[in-house]
A and B are shown apart, each in its own frame.
Chain A
Amino acid sequence: MNVVVILETLRRHVTNGFYIAYLALIAIVALGASNFDKPASLWPTLIGALAIICGAGVIGPEFSSGTLQLVLVKPVNRAIYLLSRVAGVVLAVWIGAGVGAVCEIVGRLAWGRAAYAGIGLTLLNAMCDAILTVALLALLGSVTRAYFNVAIYFAVRFTFGVMPLIIGMLRSSRNDLGQFLKEYRDIDKVLDIVERNLFPDVLPRFDRNWTLMVLANAAVALLLACIAFRKREVPYGAD
């Protein structure tokens, strides 16, 4: 990891007006949610969205803007640069998660609600989930330009969301595909497993298997991202 890159990435986020406004939103929502019986409500969803927003800019836009060319002539290994960018973005998301958790705890103290138990675990899981989200966007960003990574991310997510519905409709048809889908019902399970691996729901409790799954998937995504990024051509300008 390159500390200089991590700190620069973090600087770009914390000096961004949108990021600061978003943290304020997280704080307000977390303070509001502190009045609920169920701990850690609402704001973890905002952390998921923050991970997508910040992760979108990990590397893809740097291809398009030309920033990458300035960096790649410097003595920094490409894979280390990518991982450092990811680390900086993840740190920025973690700050948001920390703001959410702290504001909810402060709110609960103020309201006199002592149910803190789930907050820490939800925070931990949201932090793990942020790593996976940013890693996936880094992988997509390492093979695309600009913000196509986030478009593909949403397209895949949407596809997995509607796939059970489509498969159900196809299954009711009498053609060969319908028969095939009726015979192989495990397809639903496979799709569900893939979806839960790529886009897991943040749990309000500690689950070792869930944590390992999320971190392992993030590691695989980052490994693939590094391989793609090392080979990637970075053209600039035009003759």
Chain B
Amino acid sequence: MIRARALRKSFGKHDVLRGIDLEVAPGEVVGLIGPNGAGKTTLMSCLLGFLTPNGGSIEIDGRANDALDVRRQSGFVPERMNFDRRATGWAFLRYMARLAGVPASEVDARSKAMLERLAISDASNRRLSQYSRGMLQRIGMCQALIHEPKYIFLDEPASGLDPNGVLLVRDLINEQKQRGAAVLLSSHQLSEVEKICDRVLFLSGGLIAREETLRHVDHIVVAITLLPGSYEDATVARIAGVSAREHVVIATVASERAIAELVRELAASGAGILDVRQHKADLESIFRGAQ
């Protein structure tokens, strides 16, 4: 279990993380989404031990996140893979495998298997400088998963990948989930997050503005257009949980009955209701609502 409590991180006077609570259970894939500057990378960096939080705590299976035991079981794919570009893919992967603690006798076999799995065997003897962005991303996945980690941190894993690569990465993440790894994934590709993740955390202004379970729960997004001047912002926000924007309240509810209840409460507060539209929630609409 990856767990962060009241995590705070500031750079000078700028508070980037302002009290993040987060849990990723074994066998769970959690997505981290949010606008630029929301603190996704900072949060990931704190969890990985690259940055020291100003407050709060991080523990992974009850141990410090920078404990060698934890790192032995951690895998990380950065958004952009950077390494000595003169190294061949094969040499790079072998080096990473050895550093990750893969037994010397298994390094070659596992490296070969990973390169085959990510469909870049043919490029293994080419230098990294000759790799495309997508190929670098694939070999980044290889190095992160070669030691079968229990805790996996992925920063934009599908970035730069062709459609085949995206499908491959999706399958790989599902495989990690099946074998019980806890996966935290940061991405701007909402449709991809939706397909992969069990749960999504919306980061905004250094806080988790919203948390959504994507599997097993059907959400309905309802857009209620209010008559201008007929309502008070605070009252609408209290009833709907979100403020009206340009006189439209976009809320997420669990059932059609809840829509009727919401409309009834708004009407009871004196708000004039001009229009009510509903549709199944996708991540994009939830994201729009959370911002």
Task: Name A's B-contacting residues (CB within 8 A).
Answer: 2, 4-5, 8, 11-12, 15-16, 65-67, 69-77, 233-239
Stretch of B77-85, B194-202, B214-222 that contacts chain A = B77-85
Say whether B72 faces chain A, with CB atoms less than 8 Å apart. yes
Across-interface contacts of A235 in B (CB, < 8 A):
41-42, 45, 50-51
The answer to whether B38 has its CB under 8 Å from any CB of chain A is yes
Determine the chain B residues whose CB is within 8 A of the CB of A238 once the complex forms. Answer: 41
A5 / chain B contacts, CB cutoff of 8 Å:
99
Q: Given A5-B99, A69-B50, A69-B76, is A74 in contact with B82 using a C-beta cutoff of 8 Å? A: no
User: Is B86 a contact of A70 with CB atoms below 8 Å?
Assistant: no
Residues on B with C-beta less than 8 A from A4 are 95, 98-99
List residues of chain A with CB within 8 A of the CB of B259: none
Question: Which residue on chain B has the smallest CB distance to residue A15?
Answer: B86
Give the chain A neighbours of B8 by CB distance below 8 A.
Answer: none
Closest chain B residue, CB of each to CB of A237: B41
Q: How far is the CA of A72 from the CA of B78 in the complex (A)?
A: 12
Per-residue A-contact encoding for B30-52, CB less than 8 Å = 1, 0 else: 00000011111110010011111
- Which B residues lie within 8 Å of A16 (CB)? 86
Q: Mark B74-103, 1 if CB is under 8 A from A, else 0.
A: 111011111110110001000110111100
Q: Name the interface size band of chain B.
A: 35 or more
Q: Which of A8, A11, A76, A236 is in CB contact (< 8 Å) with B78?
A: A236
Given A235-B50, A237-B155, CB of A67 within 8 Å of CB of B83: yes
Q: What are some 16 contacts across the A-B interface (CB < 8 A)? A: A2-B99, A5-B99, A12-B87, A67-B84, A69-B48, A70-B143, A73-B49, A73-B74, A73-B153, A74-B101, A75-B101, A233-B52, A236-B78, A238-B41, A239-B38, A239-B40
Residue of A nearest to B149 (CB): A73
- Chain B interface (Cβ < 8 Å from any Cβ of A): 36-42, 45, 48-52, 68-69, 71-72, 74-76, 78-84, 86-87, 91, 95-96, 98-101, 143, 153, 155
Cβ contact within 8 Å between A72 and B100: no
Q: Is the CB of B71 within 8 A of A74?
A: yes
Question: Per a CB cutoff under 8 Å, which of B50, B75, B87, B98 touches A72?
Answer: B50
> In the complex, what distance in Å separates the CA atom of A11 from the CA atom of B98?
15
A11 to B95, CA, bound (A): 11
The answer on a CB contact under 8 Å between A66 and B50 is no
Residue of A nearest to B39 (CB): A239
**Which chain A residues lie closer than 8 Å to B36 at the CB level?**
239
Determine whether the beta carbon of A11 is less than 8 Å from that of B82: no
Q: Which of B51, B52, B83 has the most CB of A within 10 A?
A: B83
- Complex contacts, B101 vs chain A, CB 8 Å: 74-75
Q: Which of A15, A66, A72, A76 contacts B82 (CB 8 A)?
A: A66
With A12-B86, A16-B86, A239-B40: A71-B99 Cβ-Cβ less than 8 Å: yes
Rounded to whole Å, the gap between the CB of B174 and the closest CB of chain A is 22
Contacts of B42 in A (CB 8 A): 235, 239
- A66's nearest neighbour on chain B, judged by CB, is B82
Q: Specify which of A5, A71, A74, A237 lies most central, judged by the most chain B CB atoms within 10 Å of its CB.
A: A74
Closest to B76 in A: A73
Give Cα A16 to B84, complex, Å: 10
Is there contact, CB below 8 Å, between A237 and B80? yes
C-alpha gap A155/B143 in the complex (Å):
39
Contacts of B80 in A (CB 8 A): 66, 237
Complex Cα–Cα for A130 and B71 (A): 33
A19–chain B nearest beta-carbon distance, Å: 11
Question: How far is it, in angstroms, between the C-alpha of A233 and the C-alpha of B48 when the chains are bound?
Answer: 11
Find B72's partner among A12, A72, A75 (CB 8 Å cutoff). A75
Which of A12, A233, A235, A236 is most buried by chain B, counting CB atoms within 10 A of its CB?
Answer: A236
On chain A, the residues within 8 Å of B75 by CB distance are 73
Whole-angstrom distance between the alpha carbons of A73 and B86 in the complex?
22
Please give the distance in Å from B232's CB to the nearest CB on chain A.
35
Residue ID in chain A nearest B140 by CB atoms: A70
- A233 touching B51, Cβ below 8 Å: yes
Query: Residue A73 contacts which of B38, B39, B48, B51 (CB distance < 8 angstroms)?
Result: B48
12 new A-B contacts, CB < 8 A, other than A71-B99, A236-B41, A237-B78, are A4-B95, A4-B98, A5-B99, A66-B80, A66-B82, A73-B71, A73-B74, A234-B50, A235-B51, A236-B45, A237-B41, A237-B79
Distance between A2 CB and nearest chain B CB, rounded to angstroms? 8
**Cα–Cα distance between A65 and B49 once the two chains are bound (Å):** 18
CA distance A165 to B80 in the complex (A): 49
Give chain A nearest CB distance to B110 CB in angstroms: 15
Q: How far is the CA of A69 from the CA of B50 in the complex (A)?
A: 7
Q: Determine the distance from Cα of A73 to Cα of B39 in the docked complex, in whole angstroms.
A: 20
CA distance A110 to B82 in the complex (A): 47
Interface centre among A16, A75, A234 (most CB of B within 10 A): A75
Docked CA distance A236–B45 (Å): 7
